Chain A
Amino acid sequence: MPPQGNASKLTTMRDAVARHVPSGSMVLMGAQLEQMIPFSAGHEIIRQSKRDLTLIGPISDILFDQLIGAGCVSRVMAAWVGNVSAGVGYCLRRAVEDSIPRRVEMVDYSNFTMALALHSAALGVPFLPTYSTLGSDLLLKNGNLREFSSPVSEEKLVAVRALRPDVAIVHVQRADEFGNAHIWGSLGVAVDGARAARKLIVVAEEIVEPEVIASDPNRTLVPGFLVAAVVPEPWGAHPSPVQGYYGRDHAFFSQYHEQSRELEDFEHWLERWVLSVPDRREYMNQLGACRIEALGVREHALSAAADFGY
């Protein structure tokens, strides 16, 4: 049972974004890398015309590209921005090379240094050391990576400055109404990201009873007391996959690649898939029943139950 006095944090995507993602925020998304990317949250951010965001994430399979193309972003702190199965991000290129629709500042990390930056914030210390990026131009150009001499050995190391997002948006398989959430499969930097951020929005495929979450506390990677809002949003990560719920829509990524190559085509894409649909339900209607069915789980693979008895 949840502690007495807890209030439900359930809300809609529209409300969660309106309340917790003001313009100018530093927003962490895509913490689980290619899986469970919070596309529905990103699309709502675009619809609400948020501006001057700093996007934070290790890699960002086309969601960052879309937010950049929609003009929401002034800065990106990431290791990789593009389209994982297709190649470059054309909106990123237009923004960085030609300031279309606006100039975007790039703060380049590697995956490891991004993970350390978030872990450092999650631990509440100002930096963490690593050997990674020594000798690279990332170290020279990213001011949050600083070379220093180890106080305990005769070595050079890189201090990775703690990075504290204003808000992290983490997609999960299931959560209770208080925000206690189960995640399994591709974890990436989700655990560190959730703890590093000042605020946390949990987007869940399913809302379940608190007893379901409490039955397997090792799988509870986000404790509810850290959570500001819980958004029930089935298919909220499409076209990225959610283990046990749906597969990756590879064709959608390829199509986006083609349809974002030219500015005019991207604007049509954005109108069709984001601006002209009010919410995720309508987006899924547009995607169509056949495609949804094809992406569904073909063969379930349940884990063995763990006995927490005593």
Chain B
Amino acid sequence: MPAGAQQTESVTRDYTLGELMVAAAAREIGDGELVFVGMRLPMLAFLVAKRAHAPRAVGLYENGVIRETPSPELLYTMGDPPNLRGATQCSQMLEVMGLLQQGRVHVGFLGAAEVDRFGNLNSTWGHRNNQTIRLPGSGGACDIACLARRTVVLLAHERSRFRERVNHITSPGFGQGDSWRTAQGLPERTGPSALITTLGVLRFGSDGEAFLASVHPGVSVEDVLANTGWTLRVADKLLETPAPTTAELATMRELDPHHFWTR
């Protein structure tokens, strides 16, 4: 989208919020990169990236599957039979985790219930109506957050989820900022790269603190700030998140015609 092209509420959007987030996630994948794909929207984002701009990207899945061609059908889980047929390799969990720990994985995708100022994620203990609730837990999220060169997180942008400090770090971001990751012993040149939310995209400064890098079409900075539980920094050159292209939408709708993942 050209700079200054302001999309307003009155403009009819021919895509859903989920589709916008998938397109934004797909653009975090570079051609030829090794990608830890994860679940839900990122499964679709990987397929969109493969078709659109990253045909040589390689997908890694925690069950051991390594795939260079898009799955021929919509996936509900990474273990669905279409994701295994025609795979490059069906290896074991330790083998893909080994590639991750070696530093070979460029980008990993995660979801989370809560995030804080420094990109620390909580997916173990949530909050609802002042009660602590038990969530499913890490899965591979902690491993990806510790070991992938870049981590991209997709989550709903709500004040209750965007907290000054998460009270349980399931998956470490930049901790308390600055050189915290190094002090913990985490590998160099790893850490969160982007938070793709339902309102915009946040990135991280060299001090490890998140800032608002782009807002989605029709979303104001005030909307974002009001839904963030700390005083969020805003980029000097705030962008608008580019809308999905016709080709990206066509791929998403071919694979997910009933909007199971992209409502």
Contacts and interface: CB of A to CB of B under 8 A. Distances in A.
B147 interface: yes
Contact of B81 (A59, A87, A247): A247
B92 interface: yes
Given A93-B133, A134-B184, A136-B170, A187 B142 contact: no
Given A79-B137, A135-B175, A136-B170, A111 B143 contact: yes
User: Considering residues A34, A35, A147, A240, which has the most beta carbons from chain B within 10 angstroms of its beta carbon?
Assistant: A34
Interface residues of A, number: 61
A81 B185 contact: no
A40 to B, nearest CB: 18
B142 A78 contact: no
Contact of B79 (A33, A108, A113, A136): A33
A97 B172 CA distance: 25
Interface stretch (A48-56, A125-133, A172-180, A271-279): A125-133
Contacts of B169: 135-137
Given A186-B79, A241-B80, A110 B140 contact: yes
A109 B175 CA distance: 19
A301 B85 contact: yes
Contacts of B185: 131, 134-135, 147, 155-157
A115 B78 contact: no
B7 interface: no
Interface in A137-187: 137-138, 147, 155-157, 184-187
A149 B169 CA distance: 22
B81 A248 contact: yes
A132 B146 contact: yes
Contacts of A135: 146, 169, 172, 175, 180-181, 184-186
B79 A241 contact: yes
A137 B185 CA distance: 15
Nearest to A89: B136
Contact of A186 (B84, B132, B134, B170): B84
Interface string B89-106: 011111001001100000
Contact of B140 (A87, A97, A112): A112
Contacts of B65: 186
A111 B140 CA distance: 5
A85 interface: yes
What range describes how many residues of B lie at the interface?
35 or more
A186 B90 contact: yes
B81 A192 contact: no
Given A136-B170, A243-B84, A61 B146 contact: no
B218 interface: no
Nearest to A245: B81
Nearest to B126: A88
Contacts of B101: 112, 130-132
A263 interface: no
Given A35-B79, A185-B90, A111 B139 contact: yes
A119 interface: yes
Given A138-B170, A187-B63, A110 B138 contact: yes
Interface string B106-130: 0000000000000000001000000
Interface in B20-74: 39, 62-65
User: Considering residues B39, B62, B85, which has the most beta carbons from chain A within 10 angstroms of its beta carbon?
Assistant: B62
Given A186-B79, A243-B81, A88 B187 contact: no
A13 interface: no
A243 B137 CA distance: 27
Interface in A183-209: 184-192
A229 interface: no
Contacts of B180: 135
Contact of B63 (A112, A133, A134, A186): A186
Contacts of B241: none
Contacts of B63: 32-35, 186-188
Contacts of B147: 131-132
29 contacts: A34-B80, A35-B84, A58-B139, A61-B77, A79-B139, A84-B39, A85-B77, A108-B137, A110-B139, A110-B142, A111-B62, A115-B93, A130-B101, A131-B186, A133-B142, A134-B186, A136-B145, A136-B171, A137-B124, A137-B169, A138-B138, A185-B84, A186-B64, A187-B91, A188-B62, A188-B93, A241-B80, A243-B81, A248-B80
Interface of B: 39, 62-65, 76-81, 84-86, 90-94, 97, 100-101, 124, 131-143, 145-147, 168-172, 175, 180-181, 184-187
Given A137-B168, A186-B90, 15 more contacts: A33-B79, A35-B79, A110-B138, A112-B94, A113-B142, A131-B101, A131-B146, A135-B175, A138-B138, A156-B185, A184-B90, A189-B93, A241-B80, A243-B81, A248-B79
